Amino acid sequence: METLAFLFQWGLYALLAVTAVAAVGVVTLANIFHAALCLVAVLIGVAAVYAALSAGFLAAVQILIYVGAIMTLVIFAIMLTERIATPASGTANRLVFPAALGSLVLFIVLSRLIFSTAWPLRPGGNAPLTAEDLGRALMGPYALPFEVISVVLVAALVGALVIARKDRP
Amino acid sequence: MNTIDQIFVVTKQGILRIAGLFLPEWLVAVKSALISIVAIIAFAVVTMMYLTWLERKAIARMQNRIGPNRVGKWGLLQPVADAIKMLTKEDIVPHRADRVVHALAPVLMMIPALVLFSVIPFGRGMTAVDLNIGVIFFIAVSSVSTLPIFMASWSSRNKYSLLGGMRTAAQMISYEVPMVLSAVPALLAAGTLSTHGIVEAQGGWGGTGWYVWTPWGLAGFVIFFLCAVAECNRSPFDLPEAESEIIAGFHTEYSGMKFALFYMAEFMNAFTLSALAATLFLGGWQGPLLPSWLWFLIKVYGLLLIMFWFRGTLPRIRVDQMMSFAWKLLLPLTLVNIFVAGLWFLTGPVVRIVSSVAILASAVFVFTRLNRKYLPEKRTYRFGD
């Protein structure tokens, strides 16, 4: 079984490498349609990492929501926007430096958070997290955050409707 | 009886036992996966080939024709002849096309179509991978198949392809919502997301435990099946590839084997979606007397023949009809159906039948009444004039 574990480990490294290459492609490719396709590859790669970490439900939901719904809408928007998918329209503009600054701040905050967290191991060891566990957690200790998120989503929906409304009174 | 039922499982175990005599342990584990993969690929391709033959025969009979009858007995070798024709055809790529994306799209189209077979419970103990999130996995992977269609339609540099891609996106997003929600009552009743577990939960003497025999099961099954027909772009929901309107949509610019890959993926999706419908509501491989895998195939082919029947009978619907059907009729009905399923498990044996039938019937009546006086609004072009 050691050989299997070895293959699994190197497969995971290969997957991470492909994901990283695709992530670089998202920000460097000139054609925005190709960049969007690279983003799809990144999201699928992240889902595969979730699956490798025994979080199968999270992986499936990642693909369902990010790849199946959000990226579909992003590409839909790209195809509806005239000329944006032609090679002439670049992905870089003069907001590069403020964006880089913002990304740097986010990177520092996230890395500080990652290194200051203790990452306690779950008592069950390496047992996969099932949908049932997640459901109980969402309906029990995390019921309030769950409800707050749904309120935020409703607010976003109503806001989108208000913006997209045709006839203004 | 039991040996016929378990013949495929026993065969696989036998091969593995022989392999275990002279192969290292890790290679046997790999081989166990490989046997399932090879079996699925062979089954998927053969199924697809003969589904084309079956569809042509069935449609021909409905239209008072004979159908393929030249190659082999009853035209049984026609799919082989078609495959040879497809493989020897010239591969044409449009001059302005994005060559990489254009070549990648049909290949990527096949991946979700094949992966979906892995969670289908073909028979007792015959699920290739028994995931505990089987149904969610199925829905997630099948939602990815919109992207290759987008890639094909965008990279072809053809306005009809682009229109087909737009229609596909609108249709797939719209019908995915009621499809997922109509499966919820079955998941609620089974208490599990595993496809194997859902079939096990529908046991009972002589197929009486199938969910389709309950009011919420019947309503859920009908909605799920209609959404499945729309998801795999089959008639009457074949707007994304309407030959007469947008010259076959996203695969207009594909020829030879690339076109055949799209065609294969479509038939495989039709098969897997019918298989999921049979798993969720028709009891999967549960049934009296016959072996479990035969029951499963009978149910799936029954659903596929209904799809062929739709194609032979119904005209294509309009875009606005397609959208309002999903959002104004199917979606509210699925929400009512989830409520009815909840009521079913809380109330007594007589009350629950009467109340759920009454609620569902009145919901259908109210929603059809609300939708009846639909007139397409007069278009005012804000920027076009």
Write the DSSP assignment of A81-146 as a string of letters.
STTTTSTTS-S--TTHHHHHHHHHHHHHHHHHHHHH---PPPTTTTPPPPHHHHHHHHHTTTHHHH
A119 CA to chain B: closest CA distance, Å? 26
Considering A24, A52, A85, which residue would you say is the last residue of a domain? A85
Q: Do B146 and A128 touch (CB under 8 A)?
A: no
Domain ranges of chain B: 2-370
Q: Do A1 and B172 touch (CB under 8 A)?
A: no
B280 CA to chain A: closest CA distance, Å? 18
A167 CA to chain B: closest CA distance, Å? 12
**A63 and A134 part of one domain:** no
Q: Per-residue confidence at A105, pLDDT binned at 50, 70, 90?
A: very high
Best CA proximity match to B202, nearest among B287, B131, B117, B122: B287
**A11 and A78 part of one domain:** yes
Determine how many CB atoms are found less than 10 A away from the CB of residue B302. Answer: 12
DSSP 8-class letter at B119: G
pLDDT tens digits, A23-37 = 888 888 777 888 888
The shortest CB-CB distance from A60 to any of B30, B140, B146 is to B140
Has residue B109 got a pLDDT over 80?
Answer: yes
pLDDT score recorded for residue A99: 86
- Pick from B71-75, B78-82, B257-261: least confident: B71-75
pLDDT mean over A154-167: 85
Has residue B14 got a pLDDT over 90?
Answer: no
CB-based contact B364:B356 (threshold 8 Å): no
Q: What ipTM, to 2 d.p.?
A: 0.78
At B330, which amino acid appears? L
Q: Of the segments A139-143, A147-151, B35-39, B239-243, which one has the largest average pLDDT value?
A: A147-151
**A14 and A81 part of one domain:** yes
pLDDT score recorded for residue B254: 83
pLDDT score recorded for residue B67: 81
Per the prediction, chain B carries an average pLDDT of 83
Tell me, yes or no, whether A117 lies in a domain: no
pLDDT score recorded for residue A104: 94
pLDDT score recorded for residue B103: 86
What is the rounded CA–CA span in Å between residue B172 and residue B146? 7
**A77 and A140 part of one domain:** no
Q: Per-residue confidence at A152, pLDDT binned at 50, 70, 90?
A: very high
pLDDT score recorded for residue A156: 92
Has residue A142 got a pLDDT over 60?
Answer: yes
By residue range, what is the domain housing residue A42? Answer: 1-85
Tell me, yes or no, whether A30 lies in a domain: yes
Q: Per-residue confidence at A126, pLDDT binned at 50, 70, 90?
A: low
pLDDT tens digits, B114-165 = 888 888 888 777 777 777 788 888 888 888 888 888 888 888 877 888 888 8
**A81 and A1 part of one domain:** yes
Tell me, yes or no, whether A120 lies in a domain: no
Q: Do B133 and A68 touch (CB under 8 A)?
A: no
Tell me, yes or no, whether A67 lies in a domain: yes
**What sign for the dihedral angle of Cα B76, B293, B141, B274?**
positive
pLDDT tens digits, B268-314 = 888 999 999 988 888 878 777 777 788 888 889 999 999 889 888 88
**A77 and A153 part of one domain:** no
pLDDT mean over B359-364: 83
- Report the share of chain B in percent with pLDDT over 70: 97
Q: Do B150 and A72 touch (CB under 8 A)?
A: yes
**Distance between terminal CA atoms of chain B?**
73
Has residue A128 got a pLDDT over 70?
Answer: no
A115 CA to chain B: closest CA distance, Å? 32
pLDDT tens digits, B83-92 = 888 888 888 8
Question: Domain of A17: which CATH number?
Answer: 1.20.120.1200
pLDDT score recorded for residue A110: 93
pLDDT tens digits, A51-90 = 887 778 888 888 888 888 888 888 888 877 766 555 555 5
Has residue B355 got a pLDDT over 90?
Answer: no
pLDDT score recorded for residue A168: 60
Contacts 24+ apart (CB under 8 A), A61-68: A61/B136, A61/B140, A63/B140, A63/B141, A63/B143, A63/B144, A64/B136, A64/B139, A64/B140, A64/B143, A67/A40, A67/A43, A67/B140, A67/B143, A67/B144, A67/B147, A68/B140, A68/B143, A68/B144, A68/B146, A68/B176
Which residues lie across from B121 on neighbouring strands?
B127
Chain B residue with minimal CA distance to A47? Answer: B140
Q: Per-residue confidence at A155, pLDDT binned at 50, 70, 90?
A: very high
**A133 and A63 part of one domain:** no
Q: Per-residue confidence at A167, pLDDT binned at 50, 70, 90?
A: low
pLDDT score recorded for residue A151: 94
pLDDT score recorded for residue B384: 67
- Pick from A46-55, B39-48, B368-377: least confident: B368-377
pLDDT tens digits, B179-201 = 889 988 888 888 888 888 888 88
Scanning chain B, the segments in alpha helix (DSSP H) are 2-5, 7-22, 25-62, 78-88, 99-115, 134-144, 146-155, 159-190, 195-201, 215-231, 243-246, 256-281, 292-313, 319-324, 331-346, 349-372
The shortest CB-CB distance from A56 to any of B24, B131, B139 is to B131
What is the rounded CA–CA span in Å between residue B224 and residue B337? 12
What is the rounded CA–CA span in Å between residue B30 and residue B27? 5
Residue with tokens 């290679």: B27
Q: Per-residue confidence at A42, pLDDT binned at 50, 70, 90?
A: very high
pLDDT mean over A97-113: 92
Considering its fold, how many domains does chain A have in total?
2
Q: Per-residue confidence at A108, pLDDT binned at 50, 70, 90?
A: very high
φ and ψ of A113, to 5 deg: -65, -45
**What sign for the dihedral angle of Cα B42, B45, B48, B51?**
negative
Chain A, 110 to 149: residues with Cβ < 8 Å from chain B are: 128, 130-131
What is the rounded CA–CA span in Å between residue B293 and residue B39? 14
Chain B residue with minimal CA distance to A78? Answer: B154
Has residue B374 got a pLDDT over 70?
Answer: no
Which two structure tokens, joined as six digits, stand for B12?
Answer: 């696989």
Phi-psi region of B191 (alpha: psi -120 to 50; beta: other; left: phi over 0): left
Q: Per-residue confidence at A102, pLDDT binned at 50, 70, 90?
A: very high
